[in-house]
Amino acid sequence: MHRKADYTSVFSNPDEVLSYFNGRSALLATMHGKEQAIAPVLAEGLGLQVEVPKGFNTDVFGTFAGDVERPAPQVETAAFKAAACLGHFPDADLVLASEGAFYGHPESPFLTVNTEIVLLRERHSGLQVAGISSRTGTMAASSDVSTVEALREFASNMDFPRHGLILKAGEAAEMTVRKDFTDLPSLESAFSEMIATYPSITVETDLRAHRNPMRMEHIAKAAQDLVRRLLALCPQCGHPDFVVKDFERGLPCELCRIPTRLPLKDILHCKHCGHRDAILYPKGETAYAGHCDWCNP
């Protein structure tokens, strides 16, 4: 199934990475069609084939959680899924894990952020790299509605039925949940049944990947980031994932030259050997005075 490889954490150039992965296959345990987003990107970027195991219940990894706050624990969850997948499929050498979260923007809580992770792990070498993508453009919302008109308006704003909707009513212990609607009449008839019993119904977007095309596009972005990181080699040790991982604040204000909180340097970091490099002035040599605490307190 996979050819014997001689990975020693060292690639001397990106072409070696490409020939290392070309023609091999990686297992992706998903019940939500995520291979539709990931497979084309990895086939084009690395020549890697994605295989989805049949009859594998990914719920053993935990169901979708919307309460993860930062990318770091999300990468850990993806790593845990990848390790569980290796444990479950002893013949697989390469596995992929995908993990997503939706949460309030730390500085603008009314904005929803969607962070998607696509992680690749190789059993025999221990190579593990996570592609990450975060964005605020999401199809994630919820509303309490009590009329069919309000339901229709929400459905139209949320691009239903291209994006799935879920209806919920009642208290946690005995909540009624209806989903997997494919058209407006079926959504409306479920709503009419529920509103006969409950004063108002919560309608929310379905965040499962196969019912949320916007999320699916975003998973593809995370897969692109994975390809980018696999091809970004540390100049010191040849390990992949030598990319910008941090920054130093202090870009001078365009008017008064006092350092601002904007990035002065982007920091590239190799977690394999610890090598660091910096890109000075990643976004121009001065900061707009509007960002200066002195000129625009």
148 binds Zn ion (CB under 5 A): no
How many residues of this chain bind Zn ion (CB under 5 A)? 14
For residue 270, state whether it binds Zn ion (rule: CB under 5 A).
Answer: yes
Options 6-14, 173-181, 221-229, 272-280: segment touching Zn ion (CB under 5 A): 272-280
Binding mask of the shown chain, residues 179 to 218, with x at each position contacting Zn ion by CB under 5 A:
----------------------------------------
Q: Backbone phi, then psi, for 62, in 5-degree steps?
A: 100, 140
Residue 1 interacting with Zn ion (CB under 5 A): no
Residue 272 within binding range of Zn ion, rule CB under 5 A: yes
| 37/231 with CB nearer Zn ion | 231
Tokens representing 124 are: 């025999």
> Contacting Zn ion (CB under 5 A), which of 10, 65, 256, 279?
256
16-53 burial, b if ≥16 CB within 10 A, otherwise e?
ebbebbeebbbbbbbebebbbbbbebbeebbebebbbe
Long-range contacts of 84-90 (CB under 8 A, 24+ apart): 84/60, 85/27, 85/29, 86/121, 86/123, 88/29, 88/56, 89/27, 89/53
Residue 254, token pair as written in the block = 């365009």
CB of 11 vs Zn ion, minimal distance in Å: 11
Residues 6+ apart with CB under 8 A from 61: 29, 80, 81, 84
The residue within the footprint of Zn ion, chosen from 29, 78, 253, 268 (CB under 5 A), is 253
CA distance 166 to 205: 6
Instruction: Out of 31, 83, 237, 243, name the contact with Zn ion by CB under 5 A.
Output: 237
Q: Does 291 bind Zn ion (CB under 5 A)?
A: no
Stretch that binds Zn ion, among 29-37, 53-61, 202-210, 230-238 (CB under 5 A): 230-238
- The verdict on 255 binding Zn ion (CB under 5 A) reads yes
* Interface residue list for Zn ion (CB under 5 A): 234, 236-237, 239, 253, 255-256, 270, 272-273, 275, 292, 294-295
